[in-house]
């Protein structure tokens, strides 16, 4: 049986404009860059079987010079698109146009104050990101757009309860999501998901900036490289013996032991989801 990835995740850049305290992107990506638009477009057009594209992996996608064009190409190719962002540069784009070409935006935010923001990110402007979040929400309402806007917290400060965080950002998004990175123990009130229930490697393919395919979105540093899409086809890699072998080991791999996916928790305006 041939497997077809339904979700194509492409690292269009591994550069980032912030230095978040919990993130090692600058340590592990000494020479960041972008995937040329021509290569991104080739991958999107080639993957006719995929219904969704996430043009982001490790890095800030809005730094790519052709970011909006990539979103438009996804829609023109009959696919939906979503991305993660720190939100700092959203105001450099036509925000309603970004939303029209996106089904879901996750904006990383760990704070409710400017000082806390700088302590986490090392640079940037809390007020600018806040304005951009509000602008996205207002554009969604004004133009009756279906784009889901999610605020994603990665590392909340101890003095900032998650409930207060939800009440602060909740009015400007569809939901608030807690995605812890340091997982020595489950966060309070969050039940662990069985690792064996993870279906990520059967429906989702992750492509690094240089074309390397890795097992999942937690494999930032290529612990489980599988092949390269600029040397083999996506389908050949997705159905390769190496990929199938790793699928059988899901839940037992070292990569799985610190997987944040098992701890995801959301709050919506109507309560916890």
Using alpha carbons, select from 169, 95, 94 the residue that is nearest to residue 136.
95
Q: What pLDDT was estimated at residue 272? A: 44
**Measured CA distances, 195 to 66, 67, 152, 226, 247 (Å):** 37, 34, 22, 21, 12
**pLDDT score for 136:** 98
Predicted confidence at residue 157, as pLDDT, reads 60
pLDDT computed for residue 270 by the predictor: 43
Give the pLDDT confidence score for residue 53 in this predicted structure.
Answer: 97
Residues of the chain with pLDDT under 50: 183-186, 189-193, 195, 265-268, 270-273
The DSSP code for 30 is S
The pairing of beta strand 104-108 with beta strand 7-10: unpaired
Is pTM beyond 0.85 here? yes
Beta bridge partners of 271: 268
**What's the distance, Cα to Cα, between the start and end of the chain in Å?**
35
Give the pLDDT of residue 159.
58
Residue 257's pLDDT is 74
**Alpha-helical regions (H) of the chain:** 25-28, 37-46, 67-76, 95-100, 114-121, 126-142, 162-169, 200-203, 234-238, 241-248, 254-257
Tokens 């304005």 belong to residue: 131
**Predicted local confidence at residue 183, as pLDDT:** 47
Each residue of 209-266: pLDDT tens digit? 999 999 988 887 788 899 999 999 999 999 999 999 998 888 788 887 767 665 554 4
User: What would the DSSP string read from start to end of 179-217?
Assistant: --S--SSPPTT-PPPPGGG--HHHHEEEE-TTSEEESST
């Amino acid at each position: 049986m041939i497997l077809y990835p339904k979700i194509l995740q492409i690292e269009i850049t591994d550069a980032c404009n912030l230095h978040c305290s919990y993130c090692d992107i600058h340590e592990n990506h000494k020479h960041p860059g972008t995937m040329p638009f021509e290569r991104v477009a080739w991958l999107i057009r080639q993957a006719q079987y995929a219904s969704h594209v996430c043009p982001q992996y490790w890095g800030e996608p809005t730094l790519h010079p052709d970011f909006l064009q990539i979103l438009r190409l996804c829609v023109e190719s009959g696919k939906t698109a979503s991305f993660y962002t720190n939100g700092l540069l959203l105001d450099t784009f036509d925000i309603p146009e970004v939303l029209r070409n996106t089904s879901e935006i996750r904006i990383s935010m760990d704070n409710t104050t400017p000082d806390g923001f700088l302590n986490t990110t090392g640079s940037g402007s809390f007020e600018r990101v806040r304005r951009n979040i509000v602008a996205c929400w207002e554009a969604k309402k004004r133009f009756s757009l279906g784009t889901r806007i999610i605020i994603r917290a990665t590392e909340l400060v101890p003095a900032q309860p998650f409930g207060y965080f939800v009440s602060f950002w909740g009015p400007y998004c569809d939901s608030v999501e807690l995605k812890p990175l340091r997982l020595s123990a489950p966060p309070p009130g969050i039940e662990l998901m069985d690792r064996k229930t993870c279906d990520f490697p059967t429906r989702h393919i992750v492509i690094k900036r240089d074309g390397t395919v890795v097992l999942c979105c937690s494999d930032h540093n290529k612990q489980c490289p599988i092949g390269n899409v600029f040397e083999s086809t996506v389908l050949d890699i997705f159905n390769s013996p190496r990929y199938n072998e790793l699928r059988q080991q899901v839940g037992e791999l070292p990569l799985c032991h610190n997987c944040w996916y098992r701890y995801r928790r959301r709050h919506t305006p109507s309560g916890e989801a």
